[in-house]
Amino acid sequence: MIDLAVVYGLPSFDSVLGAVVAEVAVEKATMATETRGHNAAQAERIRSYFPDVVEVSHEDLKRMAASAQFVIRTGEATPYSNVVLQAGVTFA
């Protein structure tokens, strides 16, 4: 686990996601279906990076996270600010 949380709210989910997306080839993004109902702003933010984001139940997302190769914890404190990314390989 990579724990970036410094204080409540810092760094934000959006700032960390933006940095990761700038450096990683993302093949697939998955978020909880419940995000739309409980944190619509975050759902839209995730969709701004990944228009074709896959939605699964929050329980399924937690199961996916349990088998992740690594997890980044931000200081974000809003509900459903989670996304599972499947990284690809970039060839130069």
pLDDT in tens, 74-90: 999 999 999 999 998 77
* Residue 65 lies inside a defined structural domain of this protein: yes
* Residue 73 lies inside a defined structural domain of this protein: yes
pLDDT in tens, 1-60: 999 999 999 999 999 999 999 999 999 999 999 999 999 999 999 999 999 999 999 999
Cα separation, 49 vs 53, in Å, equals 9
β-pairing verdict for 72-73 and 26-32: unpaired
Q: Domain residues for 48?
A: 2-87
* Residue 30 lies inside a defined structural domain of this protein: yes
What CATH number is attached to the domain comprising 59? 3.40.1650.10
Q: Count structural domains, the chain.
A: 1
* Residue 55 lies inside a defined structural domain of this protein: yes
β-pairing verdict for 72-73 and 84-87: unpaired
* Residue 92 lies inside a defined structural domain of this protein: no
Per-residue b or e along 45-60, where b marks 16 or more CB atoms closer than 10 Å to that residue's CB? bbeebbeebeebebee
- Measured torsion, CA atoms of residues 61, 63, 67, 69, in degrees rounded to the nearest 10: 20
* Residue 47 lies inside a defined structural domain of this protein: yes
Full-prediction pTM beyond 0.95? no
3-class secondary structure, 77: coil
